[in-house]
Amino acid sequence: VMLPPLAGLLGGDSVEARTASSGDVLRALGWTLGKVTVFIVLMLAIGRRVIPWVLERTAAAGSRELFTLAVLAIALGVAYVATAIFSVSFALGAFLAGVMLNESKLSHQPASDSLPMRDAFAVLFFVSVGMLFDPHILIEQPLAILATFLIIVLGNSFCGFIVARVFREPLQTQLTLSVGLAQIGEFSFILAALGVSLGLLSEDARNLILAAALLSIIVNPMFFVLLDRWSAKHEAQNRVASESSLRAEEEDLLPDRALIPAANHIILIGYGRVGSRVGPVLQQHGTPLVLIDSNRDHCIDARAAGIPCIYGNALSEGVLKDANIGTARALLLAISQALEAGPIIRLARESNPGIAILARAHSDEEVAYLHKVGVDATIMGESEIARSMCDSVESLLRLAQRLEAANRAPGEDPAAEAQGT
The answer, yes or no, to whether residue 4 has pLDDT greater than 70, is yes
Q: What is the pLDDT of residues 228-278, one digit of tens each?
A: 888 877 766 655 655 555 555 455 555 666 678 888 899 999 998 888 999
Closest CA to 245 of 170, 309, 172: 170
Average pLDDT on 193-208 reads: 86
Spatial strand order of the sheet with 356-361 comes to 309-311, 289-293, 266-269, 330-333, 356-361, 377-380
Helices 90-101 and 48-60, axial angle in degrees (round to 10) = 60
In the prediction, which pLDDT does 71 show?
84
Of 203, 238, 219, nearest in space to 133 by CA:
203
In this prediction the pTM is 0.47
pLDDT at 376: 92
- Mean pLDDT computed over 49-59: 83
Higher-confidence position of 298 and 10: 298
Strand-strand pairing, 330-333 and 309-311: unpaired
Asked whether 292 and 314 are in contact (CB, 8 A), the reply is yes
Burial of 239 (0-12, 13-18, 19+ CB in 10 A): middle
Average pLDDT, the chain: 81
Which pLDDT does position 421 carry in this prediction?
46
Buried/exposed code over 262-299 (b: 16+ C-beta within 10 A; e: otherwise): eeebbbbbbbeebbbebbeebbeeebbbbbbbbeeebb
Task: Please give the torsion angle defined by the CA atoms of residues 9, 13, 14 and 17, in that order, rounded to the nearest 10 degrees.
Answer: 10
Q: Where are the beta strands (DSSP E) in 94-203?
A: none
For the residues 2-22, what does the mean pLDDT come to?
Answer: 66
Q: What is the per-residue pLDDT for 31?
A: 84
Summarize the confidence of residues 3-9 as an average pLDDT. Answer: 75
Angle, CA 29 vertex, CA 26 and CA 35 arms, to 5°: 140
Q: How many CB atoms lie within 10 A of CB 391?
A: 9
The three-point CA angle 133-138-142 to 5° equals 135
State the pLDDT at residue 339.
79
What are the tens digits of pLDDT across the range 127-157?
Answer: 887 888 888 888 889 999 999 999 999 999 9
* Lowest-confidence pick of 96-100, 155-159, 160-164: 96-100
Question: Could you tell me which residue, 218 or 243, shows the higher pLDDT?
Answer: 218
- pLDDT band at 161; cut points 50, 70, 90: very high
Give the separation between CA 367 and CA 363, rounded to whole angstroms: 6
The average pLDDT across 54-72 equals 82
Q: pLDDT band at residue 163, thresholds of 50, 70 and 90?
A: very high
Confidence at residue 331, expressed as pLDDT on a 0 to 100 scale: 92
Give tens-digit pLDDT for 325-384: 889 999 999 988 887 888 889 888 988 999 999 998 888 888 888 888 889 998 887 778
pLDDT classification of 7: cutoffs 50, 70, 90: confident
Residue 144: C-alpha distances to residues 138, 186, 205, 234 (Å): 9, 21, 10, 37
| pLDDT of 254 | 58
Convert the pLDDT of each residue in 278-310 to its tens digit.
999 988 888 899 999 888 888 888 888 888 888
Alpha helix stretches (DSSP H) within 182-295:
187-197, 203-233, 235-249, 275-284
